[in-house]
Structure 1
Amino acid sequence: MPVPDVTAGNTAKAAGTPAWARKSTLVLLVAALALAVFGTTTQTWITVSLDPDQVGQAGSAQTALQVQGSKAATTVTALALVALAGGLAAAIAGRIARWIITAIIVLASAGIVAAAATVLADPLSAAQGSIAAATGVTGSSAEVGVTAFPAIAVVVGVLLALGALLIIPAGRYWKSRTKYDARTTGSAPAAGPVDEIDSWDRLSRGDDPT
């Protein structure tokens, strides 16, 4: 019975990998989008014009308040870090684990979009914590303005979910990463282009990619 040429199959598979399905491309895409969401939370999301009477009660000369995204929507920061960790983990995960990781990133993205959209819908409520800290008064009414960063977080959150969903079809082109996914053992390493992630995985298995 003829033995299938696994090496040749892997070579053809690597050579036929579309650019969008390359592991390094998708991992970098998800990581960049997650970092972009995280970056928006370091910027001002809400500007608040405080009531001078309330500011006087607090004994402060500050009448304008800038609320960062990390304070207006605290969950966005945490969810962005979850998505970042998930994207990096997908690089070394097996087939089943990639499905789980993709679900986690999509859920994190949905949470990011929901939290940022809530700020856009009701910025005064989102700023109440910062207003109370500045004036010592809770439930205050004030003039608020919203910057572009919550909307940017919504857009990037949607793109992050779409990028995560690409992991599933792209995973068909990725070589097996664990002994549980491998169809054969002791076969020669696949020929073709090898990216940095492939080299690292082969080193972790004791192979010398050079």
Structure 2
Amino acid sequence: MPGSGATADPAGTAGTAGNAAKARKAGKSRTPVWARKSTLVLLITLLALAAFGTTTQTWITATLDPNQVGQAAATQSAIQVQGSKAATTVTALALVALAGGLAAAIAGRIARWVITAIIALASAGVVAAAATVLADPLAAAQGTIAGATGISGSQAHVELTPFPVLAVVAGCLLALAALVILPASRYWKTRTKYDAAGAAGTVAAAGPVDEIDSWDRLSRGEDPT
């Protein structure tokens, strides 16, 4: 019949759309648990918060030498040194890693490489700062001791709590989680309008363009007609 070649096939269009939906659903179901965006972002968030949380706790207990500090030790015989004082950079670096993990959820492919590097470097900084405290706790406590007694370079007996070790563990796990972003992101759906341009073109080719699609394409500078 004349013009039959130009007639749209509703059944064929519906079938194509249905197949595409099934393919998307199948792809989602094949995503490994470790590669799910929600799982990985939640893991990075918890590890960053764990590293941050250790700094609110006591890292070092310093017992002063009365023979050196005299009367100053009468009221400050034992000084509690928080992690935020012993390793000041851990707090800031943990917040950087936390922001990076949240940003990775909406970042594009190239931005994820940058974010991964930032989180990995922040994690390395957390580990290095906490390890420095473990290596020389007296030096890490000197600032707090001087502030409490007014005497710098005081000798004291120092004891470490488990929190510096926990900070090291959290930093190491945070670095590993950051490195997982790159292979896991291959399973993630694109969220930015620039990354989704190709996908939008595929959807438009598979079926008719409605008003919402037209506005989306106009916002990208495309002509939907």
Report the TM range for the smaller structure's normalisation: 0.7 to 0.9
Counterpart residue identity of residue 105, structure 2: A
Any idea what SS the aligned residue of 1:185 has?
helix
Matched residue, 1:129: 143
Q: TM-score scaled to structure 2, two decimals?
A: 0.77
Displacement of 1:61 in angstroms is 1.3
User: Is 1:111 paired with 2:125?
Assistant: yes
Higher mean alpha-carbon deviation, 86-95 vs 174-183, is at: 174-183
In 1, Cα distance between equivalents of 2:57 and 2:69: 24
Q: Which runs of 5+ in 1 are unaligned?
A: 189-204, 206-210
Contact 2:69 2:154 in 1 (8 A): no
Matched residue, 1:152: 166
User: Is 1:43 paired with 2:57?
Assistant: yes
1:125-182 CA-to-partner distances (Å, cap 9, x unmatched) read: 0001001001101111111111111011101110000011111101000001112222
Q: How does 1:77-116 map to 2 (within 5 A)?
A: 77-116=91-130
Any idea what SS the aligned residue of 2:164 has?
helix
In 1, Cα distance between equivalents of 2:171 and 2:60: 19
Matched residue, 1:165: 179
In 1, Cα distance between equivalents of 2:144 and 2:125: 22
Q: How many residues align?
A: 188
Counterpart residue identity of residue 115, structure 1: A
In 1, Cα distance between equivalents of 2:167 and 2:111: 27
Any idea what SS the aligned residue of 2:158 has?
strand
Counterpart residue identity of residue 200, structure 2: T
Matched residue, 2:76: 62
1:67-98 CA-to-partner distances (Å, cap 9, x unmatched) read: 00000000000000000011011111111111
More helix by share: 2
Contact 2:69 2:151 in 1 (8 A): no
Contact 2:48 2:94 in 1 (8 A): yes
1:30-62 CA-to-partner distances (Å, cap 9, x unmatched) read: 000000011111111001001224554548512
Matched residue, 1:140: 154
User: Is 1:22 paired with 2:22?
Assistant: no
In 2, Cα distance between equivalents of 1:169 and 1:178: 19
In 2, Cα distance between equivalents of 1:95 and 1:11: 22
% identical equivalent positions: 71
In 2, Cα distance between equivalents of 1:7 and 1:97: 28
Any idea what SS the aligned residue of 1:112 has?
helix
Counterpart residue identity of residue 37, structure 2: K
Greater relative contact order (Cα 8 A, min sep 6): structure 1 or 2?
1
Matched residue, 1:185: 200
Alignment RMSD (CA, Å): 2.2
* 4+ residue runs over 4 A deviation: 3-9
Contact 1:109 1:158 in 2 (8 A): yes
In 2, Cα distance between equivalents of 1:47 and 1:25: 37
